[in-house]
A and B are shown apart, each in its own frame.
Chain A
Amino acid sequence: MSCAQTHLHQVALETKDYKTDAKPFWCPGCGDHGVLTAMYKALAEIGVDPNYLVNISGIGCSSRLPYFVRSYKMHTLHGRAGPVATGVQLARPDLAILVNGGDGDGFSIGGGHMPHLARKNVNMTYVLMDNRIYGLTKGQVSPTSQRKMKAYTTPYGGVEEPMDPVLYMLTYGASFVAQSLATNVKMTAQLIKDGMEHKGFAFISVLSQCPTFNVIDDAKYFKGAAEEVSPDHDVTSVDAAMHVVNVGHETGRIPVGLLYRQERPTLDEYMADLVKQAGGGPDYDLRKIIDLARP
């Protein structure tokens, strides 16, 4: 098996086998269509058994994605896809966990969870679909919106500096960090595939244009600003990864490609060690525990 993730149950399927009968509800021209296509492609290339795939999302336009993917799935609460996915993963480390969500979902209301997914190295793939705006509520600024943006609740222009989800995840210790554009299905699919095969918390930021509400960060802007990371980039160095992102902030460029990858034990592996240390198993006699409370 070429896959580093031995838990990924593999079958031979085509992209169409991952599609459901539900038709994607996104606007024409929305970047999310591209992300979905890339996901089908990545899943088929790995050959993930849909019976062992759990696709989890929060709330927002992009969080509707699981309805379009043949798998077990959860459409949870705004901002809570990460911790729900953590519960599924720890309960069943044999499952492949794929999370989708937007910038508001992951980095505004759910922002408090992201550091812990990263530092705990929960074995899952998190695909951020960053359109830099709230789409489902009809166009308000999000934590990744450019400051000057005039929008629904910022008629005179926004007043807050945006954050960079990639820098955030690098800072908190995500063990796989990559960025891509929704318009580049090939690269996005490859990075999702690599992320799923990575053992640990894989974070893939996909810049996904919203043609309906975000007139600044459109597909043309993303394409023009994107710059593939150099083949010489050292993906094992978190300093190098942060440097590339910071240089981009200065030059107005958006680095795309694999930025950082690190091999380290996952949370469920540490948990399994604890059970081993305790000499545990479901047959451990409860009476031995109860006897400790005898006076």
Chain B
Amino acid sequence: MDKNDLIIRVAGEGGEGIISTGDFITQACARAGLEVYTFKTFPAEIKGGYAMYQTRASAQPLYCQGDTFDVLCAFNGEAYDLNRSRLLPGTAFVYDGPGGDFEPEIPAGVHGYAIPMTKTAKEMGNPKAKNMVALGALSQLFNIPEQALREVITAKFTKKGTTVVEGNLNAFAKGRELAAALAKTDPWKLEAPESKRDVVVMSGNDAVGLGALIAGLDFFSAYPITPATEIARYVARHLPKRGGTLIQAEDEIASASQVVGASFAGKKAMTATSGPGLALMGEMLGMSFMSETPCVIVDVQRGGPSTGLPTKHEQSDLFLAIHGSHGDCGRIVLSVEDVSDCISLTVEAFNLAEKYQCPVLLLSDGSLAFSTQTVAYPDPASFKIVSRKRWDGHGEYKRYAITDDFISPMADPGTPGGMHIATGLEHDETGNPNYSPANHEAMQAKRFRKLDGVVNDFPPAEVDGDGEAELGIIAWGSTIGVAREAIARLRAEGVSVKGFYPKLLWPMPVEQFEAFGASCRRLMVAEVNFLGQLAHFIRAETSLRPESYTICGGLPFTPAMIVAKVKEMLA
């Protein structure tokens, strides 16, 4: 039987064309109408080190990177060594040989295909085309759409001239020829669907940048930090086209400060960072809340604490996102599940910041940052865009007027009669300093009570499944996709499970949590951190007592891990 949900892992030395090979596979599959979901690990070093790019492609919707690969393509001995324990029976293994730097043993049940990648490329006088030979072989063996691959290779190298294009296409053809001469023994074969949907293929970081552009971003400031920097790269390329301004600040304190300044000046402004940067922004977050100045901060989480695991995946900034900054400091915290969310929830982050005049944090994570996925074409006209309430110019202006909904109209500099101060000092309705007990109580209540509307403004958390269940799984961020796949498998086996996928994490939609909890006999929170951070907030804010399932090894969960945990719990 052909298996048409294929995970191909290309692995080898960084700089050998691992990433571009993965990109070609991904782009070609998407071009042929397949859904794609990729997963990559980079070395922390610039040159050399182990690199891995995994593409999952299917005609069916994909929610996560899957369990492990079905096909391993090893460019060198290190890639083989690091992955040999996962060469399970049934796996296909394509490797550089003869003529590579290693002689693998093919485990029983594994379908081995030796392709002399290095040797062939050298013989063709084009040693850099080793990855093209590999790509040709993979294309032949697993039916990765040939025509689409030829198109993406041509598009990629056109700028370098026809000789380079020809050289790469020849190496690609040679790879196909070498593979065709081998007997195919495995069942893996991609089949492109007959109908294609209109899609884009983007990484999580690029998608955050696009979401910001759709939301009407005017001003972006950031300081370089892994794994968030690609957001700045995307915005730097495209924001000037929309007439906006991007600045690289001297540090994250400055970037948060510039964002608050630009927002005071009437513009939609954001910054993007990772945990260490968010820690530095804590004080300015308080200023944004106190002075009721909208700002959007994206935190692409990485392994912590301290410098931690800068290029690795973790969901461990929830404590910082929800409570980071001194004093009682409110904010809105959203988290994204996938690339599609990176677009739509970035728009939502701006809408909420503009409406509620407070900091809005959007949590992404290291694996989503670099994961490329097919996403339905985001038509800019289909998004609702919110802009801040501005003073109508009538009567006397009070910047911090206590209104029915506790939201006070803003006045951009240059508005006659709208002069006011945005201040971090406690102040009265006009902005004048006022430290009286009654005033501080009233103004804190104003700033927090205006956030009461947030829960009703945001779509309710998705509940996966109906009725009562033995076990309810709660997940956030990119773990949601893994939970979806695990729950589908468990259900197919007759296990009684439901899922709950909150994306508004603060203010917490307590009633939604309670309702879900009431429909499950037991609850489990799966998250990639040591302390069980979301579980902590659920225990603190609701009557629920979920069990925590945490990992923090620098990698995301797999569906198989969650399936196994659930079976263990229910045994």
The judgment on whether A and B are partners is yes
A92-114 vs B, Cβ < 8 Å mask (1 yes, 0 no): 10110000000000000000110
- Contact among A22, A91, A278 for B262, CB-based, below 8 A: A91
A284 at the interface (CB under 8 A from B): yes
Beta-carbon contact of A113 and B200 below 8 Å: no
CB-based nearest B residue for A84: B261
Beta-carbon contact of B415 and A278 below 8 Å: no
Bound state CA distance, A289 and B412, in angstroms? 29
Binds A, one of B328-336, B419-427, B442-450: B419-427
CB-based nearest B residue for A79: B253
Beta-carbon contact of A67 and B219 below 8 Å: no
CB-based nearest A residue for B259: A87
Beta-carbon contact of B413 and A80 below 8 Å: no
Binds A, one of B76-84, B131-139, B239-247: B239-247
- Contact among A80, A275, A281, A287 for B380, CB-based, below 8 A: A287
Note all chain A residues with C-beta closer than 8 A to B210.
289-290, 293
A245-264 vs B, Cβ < 8 Å mask (1 yes, 0 no): 00000000000000000000
The answer to whether residues A90 and B240 also contact, given A70-B419, A290-B377 and a CB cut-off of 8 A, is no
Note all chain A residues with C-beta closer than 8 A to B300.
none
Beta-carbon contact of A72 and B419 below 8 Å: yes
Note all chain B residues with C-beta closer than 8 A to A76.
257, 260, 287, 424
Beta-carbon contact of A86 and B415 below 8 Å: no
A135 at the interface (CB under 8 A from B): no
Bound state CA distance, A95 and B266, in angstroms? 12
B224-238 vs A, Cβ < 8 Å mask (1 yes, 0 no): 000000000000001
Beta-carbon contact of B424 and A51 below 8 Å: no
Note all chain B residues with C-beta closer than 8 A to A289.
210, 213, 238, 241
CB-based nearest B residue for A274: B240
The answer to whether residues A87 and B258 also contact, given A72-B420, A76-B287, A289-B241 and a CB cut-off of 8 A, is yes
Note all chain B residues with C-beta closer than 8 A to A290.
200, 210, 377-378, 380
CB distance from B29 to the nearest CB of A (A): 8
CB distance from A9 to the nearest CB of B (A): 8
CB distance from A69 to the nearest CB of B (A): 10
Note all chain B residues with C-beta closer than 8 A to A86.
247, 254, 257-258, 261
The answer to whether residues A94 and B414 also contact, given A22-B432, A116-B254 and a CB cut-off of 8 A, is yes
B503 at the interface (CB under 8 A from A): no
Note all chain A residues with C-beta closer than 8 A to B419.
50-51, 70-73
A83 at the interface (CB under 8 A from B): yes
- Contact among A50, A75, A83 for B424, CB-based, below 8 A: A75
The answer to whether residues A75 and B31 also contact, given A85-B261, A87-B261, A295-B201 and a CB cut-off of 8 A, is no
The answer to whether residues A75 and B238 also contact, given A83-B253, A87-B257, A91-B219 and a CB cut-off of 8 A, is no
The answer to whether residues A92 and B422 also contact, given A51-B416, A80-B257, A84-B258 and a CB cut-off of 8 A, is no
CB distance from B149 to the nearest CB of A (A): 12
CB distance from A233 to the nearest CB of B (A): 31
Bound state CA distance, A77 and B288, in angstroms? 11
The answer to whether residues A271 and B243 also contact, given A74-B422, A91-B219 and a CB cut-off of 8 A, is no
Note all chain A residues with C-beta closer than 8 A to B292.
none
A138 at the interface (CB under 8 A from B): no
B221 at the interface (CB under 8 A from A): yes
Beta-carbon contact of B241 and A88 below 8 Å: no
Beta-carbon contact of A280 and B243 below 8 Å: yes
- Secondary structure class of chain B's binding surface, majority of residues: mixed
Bound state CA distance, A184 and B421, in angstroms? 29
Bound state CA distance, A144 and B33, in angstroms? 67
Beta-carbon contact of A113 and B250 below 8 Å: yes
Beta-carbon contact of B240 and A275 below 8 Å: yes
B480 at the interface (CB under 8 A from A): no
A66 at the interface (CB under 8 A from B): yes
Bound state CA distance, A287 and B251, in angstroms? 33
B window 17-55: CB within 8 A of A: 27-28, 30-31
Note all chain B residues with C-beta closer than 8 A to A51.
413-416, 418-419
CB-based nearest A residue for B27: A295
CB-based nearest B residue for A66: B421
The answer to whether residues A91 and B240 also contact, given A51-B416, A75-B423 and a CB cut-off of 8 A, is no
Bound state CA distance, A207 and B418, in angstroms? 33
A54 at the interface (CB under 8 A from B): yes
CB distance from B21 to the nearest CB of A (A): 16
Bound state CA distance, A113 and B221, in angstroms? 14
Interface centre among A80, A95, A113 (most CB of B within 10 A): A80
Beta-carbon contact of A282 and B245 below 8 Å: no
Bound state CA distance, A267 and B246, in angstroms? 11
B460 at the interface (CB under 8 A from A): no
B269 at the interface (CB under 8 A from A): yes
Note all chain B residues with C-beta closer than 8 A to A83.
249-250, 253-255, 257-258, 261
B202 at the interface (CB under 8 A from A): yes
Beta-carbon contact of A74 and B261 below 8 Å: yes
Note all chain A residues with C-beta closer than 8 A to B377.
290, 294
The answer to whether residues A90 and B206 also contact, given A51-B415, A77-B284, A286-B380 and a CB cut-off of 8 A, is no
B214 at the interface (CB under 8 A from A): yes
B264 at the interface (CB under 8 A from A): yes
B199 at the interface (CB under 8 A from A): yes
Beta-carbon contact of B424 and A77 below 8 Å: yes
A168 at the interface (CB under 8 A from B): no
Beta-carbon contact of A91 and B261 below 8 Å: yes
A279 at the interface (CB under 8 A from B): yes
Interface centre among A22, A91, A95, A112 (most CB of B within 10 A): A91
Note all chain B residues with C-beta closer than 8 A to A295.
27-28, 30-31, 152, 199-201, 374
Beta-carbon contact of B242 and A281 below 8 Å: yes
Note all chain A residues with C-beta closer than 8 A to B425.
75
CB distance from B516 to the nearest CB of A (A): 35
CB distance from B26 to the nearest CB of A (A): 8
Beta-carbon contact of B240 and A113 below 8 Å: no
- Contact among B243, B374, B415 for A282, CB-based, below 8 A: B243
CB-based nearest A residue for B258: A87
CB distance from A68 to the nearest CB of B (A): 11
Note all chain B residues with C-beta closer than 8 A to A26.
none
Note all chain A residues with C-beta closer than 8 A to B249.
83, 116
Bound state CA distance, A90 and B266, in angstroms? 11
Beta-carbon contact of A280 and B240 below 8 Å: yes
Beta-carbon contact of B250 and A271 below 8 Å: no
Bound state CA distance, A67 and B430, in angstroms? 12
The 8 closest A-B pairs by CB, nearest first: A87-B261, A87-B258, A295-B30, A83-B257, A91-B262, A293-B200, A278-B240, A91-B265
Q: What would 10 more interface pairs be, CB under 8 Å, given A87-B263, A87-B265, A295-B374?
A: A71-B419, A74-B422, A76-B260, A77-B424, A83-B254, A83-B255, A87-B221, A87-B262, A116-B250, A290-B380
Q: Could you jot down 21 A-B contacts, CB within 8 Å? A: A51-B416, A67-B421, A74-B423, A77-B257, A83-B253, A83-B255, A86-B257, A87-B260, A90-B262, A91-B261, A94-B414, A274-B240, A280-B240, A280-B241, A282-B242, A288-B241, A289-B210, A289-B241, A293-B202, A295-B28, A295-B201
Binding site for A on B (CB under 8 A): 27-28, 30-31, 152, 199-202, 206, 210, 213-214, 218-219, 221, 238, 240-245, 247, 249-251, 253-255, 257-267, 269, 283-284, 287, 291, 374, 377-378, 380, 412-416, 418-425, 432-433
Binding site for B on A (CB under 8 A): 22, 50-52, 54, 56, 66-67, 70-77, 80, 82-92, 94-95, 112-113, 115-116, 267, 271, 274-275, 277-282, 284, 286-290, 293-295
